[in-house]
Structure 1
Amino acid sequence: MSFPLVAPMFPAGREPLPPGMTEEDRAQLTEARTYQRRMTIAMESCIAKTVIAGVGGLGIGAFFSLMSSSFAYEDPLLRQSTQTGMNNTQKAREIFKEMGRGMWKSGKGFGKVGALFAGIECVIEGYRAKNDIVNPIAAGFVAGGVLARNSGPKAALGGGLAFAAFSAAIDMFLRREQSDDD
Protein backbone atom coordinates (compact mmCIF):
# COMPACT_ATOMS: atom_id res chain seq x y z
CA MET A 1 0.00 0.00 0.00
CA SER A 2 1.37 3.41 -0.97
CA PHE A 3 0.39 6.86 0.26
CA PRO A 4 0.99 9.98 -1.83
CA LEU A 5 3.63 12.44 -0.55
CA VAL A 6 4.90 9.96 2.06
CA ALA A 7 8.38 8.49 1.80
CA PRO A 8 8.32 4.73 1.40
CA MET A 9 9.39 2.70 4.43
CA PHE A 10 11.13 -0.64 4.30
CA PRO A 11 12.00 -3.13 7.04
CA ALA A 12 15.67 -3.20 8.11
CA GLY A 13 17.73 -5.32 5.75
CA ARG A 14 15.10 -5.24 3.01
CA GLU A 15 15.81 -1.80 1.56
CA PRO A 16 15.94 -1.53 -2.25
CA LEU A 17 19.35 -2.37 -3.69
CA PRO A 18 21.36 0.07 -5.81
CA PRO A 19 20.95 -0.34 -9.56
CA GLY A 20 22.88 -3.26 -10.99
CA MET A 21 23.02 -5.25 -7.74
CA THR A 22 21.22 -8.51 -7.22
CA GLU A 23 19.78 -10.07 -4.10
CA GLU A 24 22.94 -12.22 -3.81
CA ASP A 25 24.97 -9.00 -3.38
CA ARG A 26 22.94 -7.89 -0.35
CA ALA A 27 25.22 -9.68 2.17
CA GLN A 28 28.34 -8.01 0.76
CA LEU A 29 26.63 -4.61 0.78
CA THR A 30 25.55 -5.10 4.41
CA GLU A 31 29.09 -6.13 5.37
CA ALA A 32 30.58 -3.10 3.60
CA ARG A 33 28.15 -0.78 5.42
CA THR A 34 29.07 -2.41 8.74
CA TYR A 35 32.81 -1.82 8.12
CA GLN A 36 32.11 1.75 7.04
CA ARG A 37 30.10 2.42 10.21
CA ARG A 38 32.86 0.91 12.39
CA MET A 39 35.57 2.98 10.67
CA THR A 40 33.50 6.14 11.09
CA ILE A 41 33.08 5.45 14.81
CA ALA A 42 36.81 4.74 15.18
CA MET A 43 37.86 7.89 13.31
CA GLU A 44 35.52 10.04 15.38
CA SER A 45 36.95 8.77 18.66
CA CYS A 46 39.15 11.11 20.69
CA ILE A 47 41.82 8.43 21.02
CA ALA A 48 42.18 8.06 17.24
CA LYS A 49 42.24 11.83 16.71
CA THR A 50 44.91 12.22 19.40
CA VAL A 51 47.09 9.45 17.97
CA ILE A 52 46.77 10.75 14.42
CA ALA A 53 47.65 14.31 15.50
CA GLY A 54 50.61 13.03 17.52
CA VAL A 55 52.01 10.94 14.68
CA GLY A 56 51.40 13.74 12.19
CA GLY A 57 53.13 16.22 14.50
CA LEU A 58 56.07 13.87 14.89
CA GLY A 59 56.45 13.66 11.12
CA ILE A 60 56.07 17.41 10.56
CA GLY A 61 58.51 18.26 13.34
CA ALA A 62 61.08 15.81 12.00
CA PHE A 63 60.63 17.23 8.49
CA PHE A 64 61.08 20.82 9.70
CA SER A 65 64.22 19.82 11.57
CA LEU A 66 65.59 18.06 8.50
CA MET A 67 64.87 21.10 6.35
CA SER A 68 66.44 23.51 8.82
CA SER A 69 69.57 21.38 9.09
CA SER A 70 69.85 21.30 5.30
CA PHE A 71 69.82 25.12 5.24
CA ALA A 72 72.79 25.40 7.61
CA TYR A 73 75.23 28.16 6.68
CA GLU A 74 78.36 26.13 7.13
CA ASP A 75 79.53 23.03 5.37
CA PRO A 76 79.43 20.32 8.07
CA LEU A 77 82.27 18.38 6.44
CA LEU A 78 84.58 21.40 6.64
CA ARG A 79 83.78 22.49 10.21
CA GLN A 80 86.17 21.73 13.00
CA SER A 81 85.45 18.43 14.70
CA THR A 82 85.90 17.81 18.40
CA GLN A 83 87.86 14.74 17.45
CA THR A 84 90.84 15.40 15.25
CA GLY A 85 91.87 12.95 12.61
CA MET A 86 88.35 11.98 11.50
CA ASN A 87 87.94 11.07 7.85
CA ASN A 88 84.98 12.22 5.76
CA THR A 89 83.00 9.01 6.34
CA GLN A 90 83.29 9.35 10.10
CA LYS A 91 82.35 13.04 9.90
CA ALA A 92 79.32 12.23 7.74
CA ARG A 93 78.23 9.52 10.19
CA GLU A 94 78.43 12.02 13.07
CA ILE A 95 76.52 14.62 11.07
CA PHE A 96 73.73 12.16 10.28
CA LYS A 97 73.54 11.08 13.93
CA GLU A 98 73.28 14.73 14.96
CA MET A 99 70.57 15.34 12.35
CA GLY A 100 68.68 12.27 13.56
CA ARG A 101 68.82 13.43 17.17
CA GLY A 102 67.55 16.86 16.12
CA MET A 103 64.76 15.35 14.03
CA TRP A 104 63.68 13.12 16.93
CA LYS A 105 63.74 15.98 19.44
CA SER A 106 61.82 18.37 17.20
CA GLY A 107 59.39 15.65 16.12
CA LYS A 108 58.64 14.68 19.72
CA GLY A 109 57.89 18.31 20.57
CA PHE A 110 55.55 18.80 17.62
CA GLY A 111 53.90 15.43 18.27
CA LYS A 112 53.33 16.25 21.94
CA VAL A 113 51.75 19.62 21.10
CA GLY A 114 49.59 18.14 18.33
CA ALA A 115 48.36 15.22 20.41
CA LEU A 116 47.69 17.41 23.44
CA PHE A 117 45.73 20.00 21.45
CA ALA A 118 43.74 17.45 19.42
CA GLY A 119 42.84 15.39 22.48
CA ILE A 120 41.72 18.40 24.49
CA GLU A 121 39.73 19.82 21.58
CA CYS A 122 37.99 16.48 20.99
CA VAL A 123 37.01 16.18 24.65
CA ILE A 124 35.68 19.75 24.69
CA GLU A 125 33.76 19.17 21.45
CA GLY A 126 32.27 15.97 22.84
CA TYR A 127 31.28 17.67 26.07
CA ARG A 128 29.75 20.72 24.36
CA ALA A 129 28.23 18.69 21.48
CA LYS A 130 29.05 21.57 19.11
CA ASN A 131 31.64 22.19 16.42
CA ASP A 132 32.30 25.92 16.53
CA ILE A 133 35.13 28.42 17.07
CA VAL A 134 34.92 28.08 20.87
CA ASN A 135 36.37 24.55 20.89
CA PRO A 136 39.80 25.33 19.38
CA ILE A 137 40.12 28.53 21.42
CA ALA A 138 39.37 26.72 24.68
CA ALA A 139 41.61 23.80 23.69
CA GLY A 140 44.40 26.21 22.78
CA PHE A 141 44.10 27.96 26.13
CA VAL A 142 44.22 24.69 28.08
CA ALA A 143 47.02 23.20 25.96
CA GLY A 144 49.10 26.38 26.16
CA GLY A 145 48.66 26.46 29.93
CA VAL A 146 49.63 22.81 30.26
CA LEU A 147 52.73 23.27 28.10
CA ALA A 148 53.88 26.32 30.12
CA ARG A 149 52.89 25.00 33.56
CA ASN A 150 56.46 24.37 34.75
CA SER A 151 57.36 28.05 34.31
CA GLY A 152 54.84 29.29 36.82
CA PRO A 153 51.25 30.55 36.83
CA LYS A 154 51.99 33.79 34.99
CA ALA A 155 53.71 31.90 32.17
CA ALA A 156 50.90 29.31 32.10
CA LEU A 157 48.32 32.08 31.69
CA GLY A 158 50.41 33.79 29.01
CA GLY A 159 51.02 30.51 27.21
CA GLY A 160 47.33 29.70 27.33
CA LEU A 161 46.36 33.09 25.94
CA ALA A 162 48.99 32.93 23.20
CA PHE A 163 48.04 29.40 22.13
CA ALA A 164 44.33 30.33 22.24
CA ALA A 165 44.97 33.34 19.98
CA PHE A 166 47.02 31.21 17.58
CA SER A 167 44.32 28.51 17.53
CA ALA A 168 41.63 31.12 16.90
CA ALA A 169 43.57 32.63 14.01
CA ILE A 170 44.22 29.26 12.38
CA ASP A 171 40.64 28.07 12.85
CA MET A 172 39.15 31.32 11.54
CA PHE A 173 41.39 31.06 8.48
CA LEU A 174 40.38 27.43 7.87
CA ARG A 175 36.68 28.16 8.39
CA ARG A 176 36.95 31.10 5.97
CA GLU A 177 38.55 28.82 3.38
CA GLN A 178 35.78 26.25 3.82
CA SER A 179 33.03 28.85 3.37
CA ASP A 180 34.72 30.13 0.20
CA ASP A 181 34.58 26.61 -1.26
CA ASP A 182 30.82 26.30 -0.61
Structure 2
Amino acid sequence: MAFPGMTPPMGGMPGGSGNDAQGLSNQDMALLYYSRLAAESCASKTVMSGVAGFGMGAIFGLFMSSMSYDSPMTPQNQQIADLPLRQQVRYGLKDMGSRSLSAGKNFGIVGALFAGIECCIEGFRAKNDLKNIAAAGCLSGGILGARAGPYAACAGCVGFSAFSTAIDWYMLSPSEPDD
Protein backbone atom coordinates (compact mmCIF):
# COMPACT_ATOMS: atom_id res chain seq x y z
CA MET A 1 0.00 0.00 0.00
CA ALA A 2 1.51 3.34 -0.99
CA PHE A 3 0.89 6.62 0.75
CA PRO A 4 1.32 10.07 -0.78
CA GLY A 5 4.82 11.40 -0.18
CA MET A 6 6.23 7.99 0.74
CA THR A 7 8.73 6.04 -1.31
CA PRO A 8 8.23 2.32 -1.82
CA PRO A 9 10.65 0.18 0.17
CA MET A 10 12.85 -1.07 -2.68
CA GLY A 11 12.31 1.56 -5.38
CA GLY A 12 14.26 4.63 -6.32
CA MET A 13 13.35 8.19 -5.48
CA PRO A 14 10.54 9.84 -7.46
CA GLY A 15 11.66 11.48 -10.67
CA GLY A 16 14.29 8.84 -11.41
CA SER A 17 16.96 10.32 -9.12
CA GLY A 18 17.77 6.91 -7.57
CA ASN A 19 19.01 6.02 -4.10
CA ASP A 20 22.62 7.01 -4.71
CA ALA A 21 21.68 10.67 -5.21
CA GLN A 22 20.15 10.70 -1.75
CA GLY A 23 22.88 8.63 -0.14
CA LEU A 24 20.43 5.99 1.09
CA SER A 25 20.70 2.28 0.45
CA ASN A 26 17.68 0.09 -0.30
CA GLN A 27 17.79 -1.14 3.31
CA ASP A 28 17.73 2.44 4.61
CA MET A 29 14.85 3.30 2.30
CA ALA A 30 12.90 0.26 3.52
CA LEU A 31 13.56 1.21 7.14
CA LEU A 32 12.43 4.77 6.50
CA TYR A 33 9.32 3.57 4.69
CA TYR A 34 8.25 1.15 7.41
CA SER A 35 9.08 3.63 10.18
CA ARG A 36 6.84 6.25 8.61
CA LEU A 37 4.16 3.64 8.00
CA ALA A 38 4.24 2.65 11.68
CA ALA A 39 4.23 6.26 12.88
CA GLU A 40 1.17 7.05 10.76
CA SER A 41 -0.89 4.08 11.96
CA CYS A 42 -3.85 4.68 14.24
CA ALA A 43 -2.47 2.34 16.89
CA SER A 44 0.83 4.20 17.19
CA LYS A 45 -0.90 7.61 17.15
CA THR A 46 -3.17 6.43 19.94
CA VAL A 47 -0.28 5.11 22.04
CA MET A 48 1.86 8.21 21.46
CA SER A 49 -1.03 10.50 22.42
CA GLY A 50 -1.74 8.46 25.52
CA VAL A 51 1.90 8.57 26.62
CA ALA A 52 2.20 12.31 25.91
CA GLY A 53 -1.09 12.94 27.70
CA PHE A 54 0.10 10.93 30.68
CA GLY A 55 3.30 12.97 30.85
CA MET A 56 1.53 16.32 30.56
CA GLY A 57 -1.11 15.27 33.07
CA ALA A 58 1.53 14.16 35.55
CA ILE A 59 3.29 17.52 35.28
CA PHE A 60 0.00 19.36 35.60
CA GLY A 61 -1.01 17.24 38.59
CA LEU A 62 2.35 17.86 40.26
CA PHE A 63 1.97 21.60 39.79
CA MET A 64 -1.61 21.68 41.03
CA SER A 65 -0.88 19.51 44.06
CA SER A 66 2.03 21.72 45.04
CA MET A 67 -0.36 24.69 45.12
CA SER A 68 -2.64 23.05 47.68
CA TYR A 69 -0.12 23.62 50.48
CA ASP A 70 0.21 27.37 49.99
CA SER A 71 -1.97 28.38 52.94
CA PRO A 72 -1.51 26.92 56.44
CA MET A 73 -4.91 28.27 57.51
CA THR A 74 -7.05 25.47 56.06
CA PRO A 75 -7.94 22.74 58.59
CA GLN A 76 -6.14 20.00 56.64
CA ASN A 77 -2.98 22.08 56.24
CA GLN A 78 -3.13 23.08 59.92
CA GLN A 79 -3.04 19.39 60.90
CA ILE A 80 -0.05 18.87 58.59
CA ALA A 81 1.70 21.93 60.01
CA ASP A 82 1.55 20.37 63.50
CA LEU A 83 3.53 17.30 62.34
CA PRO A 84 7.32 17.10 62.49
CA LEU A 85 9.13 18.31 59.34
CA ARG A 86 10.10 14.82 58.12
CA GLN A 87 6.45 13.64 58.28
CA GLN A 88 5.26 16.82 56.56
CA VAL A 89 7.67 16.22 53.69
CA ARG A 90 6.74 12.53 53.45
CA TYR A 91 3.02 13.34 53.46
CA GLY A 92 3.45 16.10 50.88
CA LEU A 93 5.52 13.97 48.51
CA LYS A 94 3.13 11.02 48.78
CA ASP A 95 0.16 13.31 48.10
CA MET A 96 1.89 15.00 45.16
CA GLY A 97 2.81 11.62 43.69
CA SER A 98 -0.71 10.23 43.95
CA ARG A 99 -2.25 13.38 42.45
CA SER A 100 0.30 13.38 39.63
CA LEU A 101 -0.43 9.74 38.86
CA SER A 102 -4.18 10.34 38.90
CA ALA A 103 -3.99 13.38 36.63
CA GLY A 104 -1.55 11.58 34.34
CA LYS A 105 -3.92 8.63 33.94
CA ASN A 106 -6.86 10.91 33.20
CA PHE A 107 -4.97 13.01 30.64
CA GLY A 108 -3.53 9.86 29.05
CA ILE A 109 -6.98 8.31 28.65
CA VAL A 110 -8.41 11.49 27.15
CA GLY A 111 -5.46 11.88 24.76
CA ALA A 112 -5.52 8.27 23.61
CA LEU A 113 -9.30 8.23 23.23
CA PHE A 114 -9.40 11.42 21.19
CA ALA A 115 -6.42 10.53 18.97
CA GLY A 116 -7.71 7.02 18.28
CA ILE A 117 -11.19 8.21 17.38
CA GLU A 118 -9.86 11.07 15.24
CA CYS A 119 -7.50 8.75 13.36
CA CYS A 120 -10.27 6.22 12.67
CA ILE A 121 -12.59 8.96 11.42
CA GLU A 122 -9.82 10.36 9.23
CA GLY A 123 -9.17 6.92 7.76
CA PHE A 124 -12.87 6.34 7.17
CA ARG A 125 -13.46 9.71 5.50
CA ALA A 126 -10.06 9.77 3.72
CA LYS A 127 -9.82 13.49 4.50
CA ASN A 128 -7.99 15.58 7.04
CA ASP A 129 -10.16 18.56 8.00
CA LEU A 130 -11.92 20.21 10.91
CA LYS A 131 -14.96 17.93 10.55
CA ASN A 132 -12.83 15.01 11.75
CA ILE A 133 -11.75 17.00 14.80
CA ALA A 134 -15.32 18.08 15.58
CA ALA A 135 -16.66 14.54 15.27
CA ALA A 136 -13.81 13.06 17.33
CA GLY A 137 -14.34 15.72 19.99
CA CYS A 138 -18.05 14.99 20.11
CA LEU A 139 -17.57 11.23 20.40
CA SER A 140 -14.78 11.57 22.97
CA GLY A 141 -16.73 14.06 25.09
CA GLY A 142 -19.84 11.91 24.88
CA ILE A 143 -17.94 8.79 25.94
CA LEU A 144 -16.23 10.60 28.81
CA GLY A 145 -19.51 12.09 30.05
CA ALA A 146 -21.66 8.99 29.54
CA ARG A 147 -21.27 7.71 33.12
CA ALA A 148 -22.89 10.84 34.49
CA GLY A 149 -25.99 10.44 32.33
CA PRO A 150 -27.37 11.56 28.97
CA TYR A 151 -27.30 15.28 29.77
CA ALA A 152 -23.61 15.10 30.72
CA ALA A 153 -22.87 13.04 27.60
CA CYS A 154 -24.53 15.67 25.40
CA ALA A 155 -22.76 18.50 27.21
CA GLY A 156 -19.45 16.64 26.90
CA CYS A 157 -20.06 16.10 23.20
CA VAL A 158 -20.79 19.76 22.52
CA GLY A 159 -18.08 21.11 24.82
CA PHE A 160 -15.25 18.82 23.76
CA SER A 161 -16.18 19.24 20.09
CA ALA A 162 -16.17 23.03 20.34
CA PHE A 163 -12.93 23.09 22.32
CA SER A 164 -11.02 20.69 20.07
CA THR A 165 -12.28 22.37 16.88
CA ALA A 166 -11.34 25.82 18.17
CA ILE A 167 -7.85 24.66 19.16
CA ASP A 168 -7.26 22.93 15.82
CA TRP A 169 -8.66 25.89 13.86
CA TYR A 170 -6.30 28.22 15.73
CA MET A 171 -3.32 25.91 15.19
CA LEU A 172 -4.06 25.62 11.45
CA SER A 173 -4.79 29.30 10.85
CA PRO A 174 -2.03 31.18 9.02
CA SER A 175 0.11 33.30 11.27
CA GLU A 176 0.76 36.99 10.74
CA PRO A 177 4.15 37.71 9.16
CA ASP A 178 6.55 39.57 11.42
CA ASP A 179 7.45 42.92 9.86
Larger radius of gyration: 1
Instruction: Give the corresponding residue for 1:18.
Output: 21
TM-aligned CA distance change 1:122 to 1:16, over 3 Å:
closer
Instruction: Give the corresponding residue for 2:46.
Output: 50
Instruction: Give the corresponding residue for 1:70.
Output: 66
Residue of 150, 162, 165 corresponding to 1:165? 162
Residue of 71, 74, 81 corresponding to 2:79? 81
TM-aligned CA distance change 1:151 to 1:33, over 3 Å:
same
- The offset of 1:75, in angstroms, is 5.5
- The offset of 1:67, in angstroms, is 1.5
Distance 1:131 1:38 in 2: 22
Distance 2:42 2:11 in 1: 30
Distance 1:45 1:69 in 2: 36
Distance 2:121 2:109 in 1: 18
- The offset of 1:69, in angstroms, is 2.6
Amino acid at match of 2:45: K
Residue 130 of structure 1 aligns to a residue in which SS?
A: coil
Aligned residues: 161
Amino acid at match of 1:93: R
- The offset of 1:180, in angstroms, is 5.7
Instruction: Give the corresponding residue for 1:59.
Output: 55
TM-score, reference length from structure 2 = 0.80
Residue 74 of structure 1 aligns to a residue in which SS?
A: coil
C-alpha RMSD of the superposition = 2.7
TM-aligned CA distance change 1:87 to 1:163, over 3 Å:
same
TM-aligned CA distance change 1:83 to 1:170, over 3 Å:
closer
Percent sequence identity is 41
Instruction: Give the corresponding residue for 1:24.
Output: none
TM-score, reference length from structure 1 = 0.79
5+ residue gaps, structure 1, are 1-10, 22-27
Distance 1:126 1:161 in 2: 23
Deviation string for 1:62-115 (max 9, x for gaps)?
111112233342269x9333696x421122111100000000011111111000
